[in-house]
Each structure stands twice: as structure tokens, then as C-alpha cells.
Amino acid sequence: MCGIAGVLGKTVAKDAVGPLIATLAHRGPNGIRVEDGKGFSLGHARLSIIDLEGGWQPLHAAGSTVIGNGEIYNYVELARDFQLGPVLKTGSDFEPLLHLYGREKSEAFERLRGMFGLCLIGDDQCRWLARDGFGIKPLYYWERGDELLFASEPRALFAGGAPRKLSKPHAEELLALGYTIGEGSIFDGVCRLSPGRTLSFRTTPAKAETGQIGQNWLSQTPQGFDSDESAVAALDAVLEDSVRVHQRSDVPYGLFLSGGVDSASIATLMSRLNERPVTAFTCGFDAEGARDERASAERVATALNLDWRETSFGEEDFWRVLPQVAWALDDPTCDYAILPTYKLAEAAKGTLTVVLTGEGGDELFAGYGRYRRAMRPAWLGGRPAEPQIYAPHLPDKGSGALDRWRAVALEWASAFGSTPLQAAQIGDIKTWLHADLLLKLDRCLMAHGLEGRTPFLDDQVAHFAFRLPDKLKVRGKYGKWILRKWLETHCPAADPWAKKKGFTVPVSAWIAPRAAELGPKIAGVEGVAQVCDVDQVLAVFADDRHEKARWPLLFYAVWWLIHFAGAEPNDALKSLVQP
């Protein structure tokens, strides 16, 4: 896990990447290295995970060069299967890619099992950007004349001269959906490389999209099983293998444990695979009426003999963390789960460097209630599995954002979804999974020098999950049926058949006492006025019936003041409310 940046073109100034990579120092607390060459300037801010001494980047082998952010989990198998041992000079997980590129060119990317955003300059002088199939790791780019600049975060591109111009449609998406969609970003002109895509060019930034990588699981022939028991046994094998390779690390690792099925499943397998107690962190809420998962997490931790650490999140944390996380999320999401995720990373820093989490379990194994509704006919209450928008502050009430979401989700779903359930899953994977859940995980953990890993979002797990018949994912009132059935045997303390409670953070309760003060100040923020109906913004904070809309507006106002007005994080919040 690191931060990368680069400038590519026909001729590139010496140390052109220096100002870019300096902005990503938080992603690489172990140090920064810069390298210039013919037509490139590359920077790498390193968080050392594998081969602590020899894994510094840029890496060179077989006439090619690479810098990457992330982990290639199957580097051991690649070295073995392609007999690379005699030519490997390091133990880095990225070096095998260079040797494979020398043999197979761009087909080598298809062999990678991992999470990554990378730049490879080949021995054939072709330059590549590539991103993993789920979009676990971020990668952004911007064109400046005949040069192309890229980086792990947009902030680095601004250091390279990219203009800060708000994309109004994406700002509307943020306030309606809670995240932004598509290849563009909230910064007009700054693009996100889509998950599972490569971008290739030679001496100029003439781009050639080359299709998907790491997404062969999208179109699969359904797999039958002799019995439910045989399906559960197959699940056990594929999950254990994924957790095993996701634990490959030369530094301490552990997990974030909630009270849900997904993280309990990861904890169960980590406990099985490790002789010593696995360190697990759980965040609970000190607020009346909040859903606190600490009791259920503690039951799992006791049953699995985990080294369990708990931390709490209260109103004081809300006002303290808000501006910090708004700074970290330069590509924003209004998902209120950013708050406890940031606090968990803060608590784990100094104890762990690698953290496994349960992101992706709901999307791959169909855990959301909206999936079950999508499977029903309309006369039984069925409806599409799409976002439920409440945005009275937007002139169109969010209808434009929803239309754009439908366009992206339905394009993928119609191409690869053979059943209504699969279509709903693919719609989520191609929209909010990488633009919300994974973006949140990346920024909140990297702000504290931690690497987040997601064993559910693995090529092998996805290959298994998308070949399952619907009845093994949804049965009766239960989503994630096969995962619950597996957990029933291997960790009954997780109470896998309990009703899914969902995840909530009591932001409305913390904002309400200050709503009267916040309304006029938020309505007066220039970035809010550019997007919203100001009178409706005032109404949102004046009427408790609109409390659901308050958190996105508060977050967006603080975020805009930091990333557009140039305010320091705490000053941005203080301009709206005295915490």
C-alpha cells in the first residue's frame, strides 16, 4: 500500500513529479523515491508491507519499470508457475509482473490476483496505467497538453497544475446518492481510471482503452452442486484460500470486527489460520438509541480467542473527526460510515499495519434487502434495487443523479446479469462499491498509514459467488444464505441467522441541537449555492422532518471549504459551528 504519481509525455522535465508525490506523503510513511527517465518522471511514497528492504519502487526488471499502489497477492504462485526464481532480484510482490510483461506484454495484467493501481513502462516503450477489477485501489489522471499526469489521489494532480473546478453534475450526485459515479470526478477534468481498466499510450498521451482486466467472473456459467452441504464445503475452501493469501505480509496484521456476518466470517478464518490470537478492533457508539455492535463482536471475539480491542465513538468524536475525514476524502463520499472507519484506523495505528475487513460480502453473496425486493414480481411488492434518494435541497430533487446512476448500473447489468438478482449485484459493484465503500476504506486507513485488505473482493471468491444459483444466495427471508449456513457451523457465536440490523451512525442526533446555527452558514457557502436551492437548504435545517438531508449538506460544506476555498480542516468546521 503506497501512493504513486507520475508525469508521462514525449519530453518531461526533471523532477516533474516531485511536487505531486510530496502531497501523498501520508500514504507512504516509510519514505519517498523519485526517478526520471526518457519521457517520464515517477514518484512512489512507500508503506512497507512485503520485502521491507528490497521492495522499494520504482522497480526495474526485464527492461521494464513499474510503480504500484496495492498488493499482488499471488506473487508467490506467479514466481513458482513461471519459474522466475533465478531471475528475481527482490521479494517484492510487483517484480514478477515485470518479467511476465517481458514474455506476454499486456496479457500479463490478467494474471494478477490482487488490488492495485499501477504504472508500467514496458521494454517496448508502451506505458500503461492499470487498476484492479473491483477498484479497491484508486488511480486518477489528468491531461496537460501533450503530457499525462496520474496519481493515487486528486490532490497530487493539483500540485501538478490541474485546475480546481467543480463538476456540478458530480456534486449533485454526491448530495443525492452520497457518492459520485462514472469515469469523471467531482473535479472537472480529473478522471478516475475505471475498475478493471487499462490505459495505454506510447510517446504521447494518445489513449487506447483495452477492455477489462480481472473481471472474468462477471460472465460465468452457473455451477450446480450435489447438495447444500457440498456447496458450503466449496465455499469453505475458496474463502480460506482468499484469507490465506490476504494475510501475506511482513508486518503486523489484524482485522476490523463488526457485529455482522461478513467480518465474523473473516475473523473465523483468520483464527483458523493463525496460531496466535488475531488482533481485532471494534467501534461502538456512545449515543442513546444507536445500534452498538460491541456486544455481538465481543461474543465472536471470545469464541475465537481474538485479541479484541474496543473503541467508542461519541458526539465529541463526531465534531473532531468530521473535518479530518473531509480532508482525507479529497474524492468525497457522504457515507457516514467514514466516521467510525476513521476512528478505528486511528485506534489501530501503532498496533497494526495491515487490516482485513468484510467489504464486498453483501455485494457478492446478496446481503441487502433491496436484492430480495428486486427478485419479487411487482404485484408482491418488488421494485428495482436502486438508491432511494431524498434530496429536497437539489433543484431537481436528485432525479438527474438517479438517471445517471441507472444509466451506469443498467449498462453493466444488461450485459452480464442473467437473473434479476445478478443484475442488482452488478449494478452495485459498478457504482457504489468502488465509489463509496472502497474509497472510504482507502482514504480513512491511508490517512493513518494502514493498508486495508478485502478478502471477499478476490477474483477467486467472485468467480465462485457469481456461479452460484440464486437459491444459494437468497432463500426465504435470508440474504447471504450460503455464508450464514457456513458460519452456523464454524462460528455459531456470531448468531448468523439474526436479522440484519444495518449500519447506522447517529449523525442526525448530533447535528439537531445545532441545526438552527448551521442552516444559514451552510446555505452561505459558495459551493452549496452553486449546486443547491438555498431556500431549501435553510428549510432542511429549520424543519426536523428533513433531518435525513442534513448530514450530506454539512459534510459537503466542510469538504468544499477545505478543497476549494483552501481552509484548514478545523477552520472549515469552525466557520460553520463552534464545536
Whole-number pLDDT of residue 207: 59
Is residue 177 packed enough to be buried (19+ CB in 10 Å), middle (13-18) or exposed (0-12)?
buried
Backbone angle region of 260, left / alpha / beta, with phi > 0 → left and psi within -120 to 50 → alpha: beta
Say which CATH class 217-379+437-494 falls into.
alpha beta
Burial readout 33-57 (b: 16 or more C-beta within 10 A, e: otherwise):
ebbbeebbbbbbbbbbbbbeeebbb
Element spanning 35, H or E: strand 31-37
pLDDT in tens, 542-573: 999 999 999 999 999 999 999 999 999 999 99
- Mean per-residue pLDDT, 7-18: 93
pLDDT in tens, 244-262: 999 999 999 999 999 899 9
Whole-number pLDDT of residue 203: 53
Q: What percent of the chain has pLDDT over 90?
A: 85
Q: Would you state the cell numbers that stand for residue 504, as one nine-digit string?
A: 447506522
Whole-number pLDDT of residue 209: 56
Query: Residue 6 above 80 pLDDT?
Result: yes
- Under DSSP, the state recorded for 10 is S
**Boundaries of every domain in the chain:** 2-214, 217-379+437-494, 507-574
d(CA 363, CA 360): 5
Whole-number pLDDT of residue 417: 73
User: Are 194 and 131 contacting, i.e. CB atoms less than 8 angstroms apart?
Assistant: yes
Q: State the average pLDDT for the chain.
A: 93
- DSSP-assigned letters across all residues of 58-83: SEEETTEEEEEEEEETTHHHHHHHTT
What is the number of other CB atoms lying within 10 angstroms of the CB of residue 409? 25
- Mean per-residue pLDDT, 341-361: 97
417 compared with 194, residue with greater pLDDT: 194
pLDDT confidence bin for 1, thresholds 50/70/90: low
- Mean per-residue pLDDT, 166-185: 97
pLDDT in tens, 427-462: 999 999 999 999 999 999 999 999 999 999 999 999
pLDDT in tens, 267-281: 999 999 999 999 999
User: Are 21 and 49 contacting, i.e. CB atoms less than 8 angstroms apart?
Assistant: no
| Triad 29, 31, 37: Cα angle to 5° | 140
Q: What is the pTM of this model?
A: 0.96
For the domain 2-214, what is the CATH superfamily, name and number?
Aminohydrolase, N-terminal nucleophile (Ntn) domain (3.60.20.10)
pLDDT in tens, 188-244: 999 999 999 999 876 555 555 566 787 888 876 778 888 999 999 999 999 999 999
